[in-house]
Every structure is written in structure tokens, then in C-alpha cells.
Structure 1
Amino acid sequence: MFVRTERLTLRRFTPADAEAFAAYRSDAEVARYQSWDPPLPLADAQRKVEQFGQDDPAAPGWFQYAMDLDGVLIGDLGLNLDENLMQAELGFTLAPAYQGQGYATEAVRGLLDDVFIERKLHRVSAECDARNTASARLLERVGFKQEGLRLSHSFHKGEWTDDRLFGLLRTDYLS
């Protein structure tokens, strides 16, 4: 399952992606608001991209899309498809060299087009650390609405953090 945008291809991971994946996921700033701790050793990255490449994007659970710019892995998007196959949760990560150039916004819009237009999902949700203003702005830019704020909800990397909750309905996205 591929998604093409003006500049990007969202595709399955391949073994050739492991080195770039390890590099950006090892960056402390990239990992700051994410669930993993850097660094990501190359051997672990190789195992992860191999597993990602075998996952089924139409099955419930997380599917990780490789964000490809002219054959170069620049980030990834995760879509956690609910058991009911009508809603999903979204996550995204972008290598620092490609931030601030609209790639993440373009990739998220491309994936939203796919899930709302082609796959006809009802709803997509996302959440982020309240301090992660770049991710919150991206979500708002593509149409997500903040639906809640959970104060001191997550114990993340040794501290309690607030979580911003976002949602986007198919009807709102298509209007």
C-alpha cells in the first residue's frame, strides 16, 4: 500500500532503510517527546524495519509507513487502526534535516486523504506532549481539533507530562 504526494511516497519499510531510521531515531531532540530513548542501535533498527515491512496496513494495530523523498528515508508515520476498522490513531516522526520544509504536513495530509477518501475511515485521533508545539501546530494545520488536555497524565522519561488530545472526523476533513 503506497501513498503518493507531490514530493513524497509513503511506503513499506525495506532493509535498506535501517541506517537512516537508526540515525534520526537516535537524535535526542527527535526522541524527546516520543516513546523511545536514544540511541537506537543499528541492529535494533534492522529488526524494527524488518518487522515494519511485514506488517499489514489493513489489519488492526500499528502500521509504520516509511516517508520517502526521492529514495531517501526522511521520517515515518504510524497509523494505529482500531479493531472496528473505522477509526485510527496517528503518529509521526521526521529527521531533523527535513523539518521546517512542509514534509511532515504533506505526509500527514497524504495519509489522511488515503484513510478518509480511499478507506473511508470515520475518525482519526492523535495526541502529543503539551510542550510539543510543533506537532500540535501540524495537527491543527491539517484540520485536527484539540478535544482535550489531560493534566499530568503521562509519566514520560522521568517526569509527569500533560497530554493534548486531538481528533478529526471524516466529514470535517472532506468539507
Structure 2
Amino acid sequence: MIETPRLILRRFTLADAPAMRTYRNTPAIARYQAWRSPLTHEDAEHQVLLYAKQEPAEAGWFQYAVEHKGTGHLAGDLGVRLDDDLLQAEIGFTLAPAFQRQGYGTEMVLSILDHLFAQGMRRVYAECDIRNTRSAALLERTGFRHEGTRTRPTININTGERTDMTLYELSHHQRTA
């Protein structure tokens, strides 16, 4: 568990499924994501049960539930994929519409960066749909630098749109400089 002044990053529970389903089914959010939408109630429950079994210190994905301290509501989620060498990680994030544009995204990303670099991570990277300018701005605000654009088209699973992906990275050295 990771705590910030306003958020708790924790393991998912079954009780998180309805809220996750609601924000992940929001078309403006699902448009830029790799999960299939819309999620049914059963799909959401299955997904959070899978997330609950993941291990944050092992190679592979761990999905944090992002809880708002003041209300206890699920504000979003943040995924971390540790590379096999446990020295690099990829992150991805989603915020429910009610929690956007209030600094929560910056707070959760900075907290996971602090956590990962304190554990000895050497590099953290992220990618986003090139049209997702708000996520790109969040990455830049938290210290990531634009590394390039993957120009071979990616097909969005929900919309069928072809899009390029923009790549970002932040090294331990850059973070501490």
C-alpha cells in the first residue's frame, strides 16, 4: 500500500468492481485504452479478482486501485509492469472523470515513481495514444521526457482506429538530478 496526502494506492477488492466498471466504460476514457469496453458487471468482477491475485514485487503487471482518502471512493487505477530484470518498469493509469483536473493524476504518478525508485528501479517508461494529450501532459509534468513515437499503427481494441503511440521515459538519474 502506498499513501499520499489524498490517495491510497492499494490492492483491488471485489467491492471495487462497480466503480471500476463505471469509469472504464466512459467512452472518452476507453477510447485511449487497451482493455475491451464496455465491461459487463461480470467482466469487471473477474478483472478485479485477477488484479487482486497479482504481486507488486514480481515481474509482470500489478494494478493498484487508487482510493480517494476523503471519500473512500475508487478514483482510478494505476498499473505497473516490472520487467524481468526488476530494474525497469512500465506504468499506465486511469482516473475516473470526477477526479480529473484536480491534481490527483500528478499525485498518484509521483507517488509510484517515488516508490519504484526507492526500490532500486533504474528506469520507468510509459506509452500513450498520440492523441491522448492529457496523459502526455501528465507524464511530462511528472518528469518524463518524450522518447519518440512508435509509428507503426496500433489498432485500438475498442474503436478499431489506427493510431501511433508516443513513448516516454524517466531514469533514476533524471529523477534525482
Deviation at 1:153, TM superposition (A): 2.6
Q: Provide the residue aligned with 2:129 in structure 1.
A: 129
Which amino acid in 1 is paired with 2:57? A
- SS of equivalent to 2:74: strand
Give the equivalent residue in structure 1 for 2:30.
31
Structure-1-length-normalised TM-score: 0.96
Moved more, 33-42 or 70-79: 33-42
1:95 equivalent in structure 2: 96
Deviation at residue 59 of structure 1 after TM alignment: 0.7
Distance 2:9 2:101 in 1: 19
Shift of 1:15: 1.0
1:46 and 1:147 map into 2 onto residues whose CA distance is 36
Structure 1 segments (4+ residues) deviating >4 Å: none
Q: Any conservation in 2 of the 1:77–1:92 contact (CA below 8 Å)? A: yes
Name the counterpart of 1:108: 109
Q: Could you say which residue in structure 2 is the equivalent of 1:151? A: 151
**Which residue in 1 is equivalent to 2:164?**
162
How many equivalent pairs are there?
A: 173
Question: Cα offset for 1:39?
Answer: 1.5
Instruction: State the identity %.
Output: 50
- Secondary structure of 1:90's aligned partner: strand
Cα distance, 1:152 vs. partner?
A: 4.3
Matched position secondary structure for 1:48: helix
Q: Secondary structure at the match of 1:36?
A: coil
Higher-RCO chain (CA-CA 8 Å, sequence separation at least 6): 2
Aligned-pair Cα RMSD in Å: 1.0
Q: What SS does the corresponding residue of 1:45 show, helix, strand or coil?
A: helix
- 1:159 and 1:32 map into 2 onto residues whose CA distance is 9
Q: Return 5+ residue gaps in structure 1 as ranges.
A: none
TM-score of the superposed pair, with normalisation by structure 2: 0.94
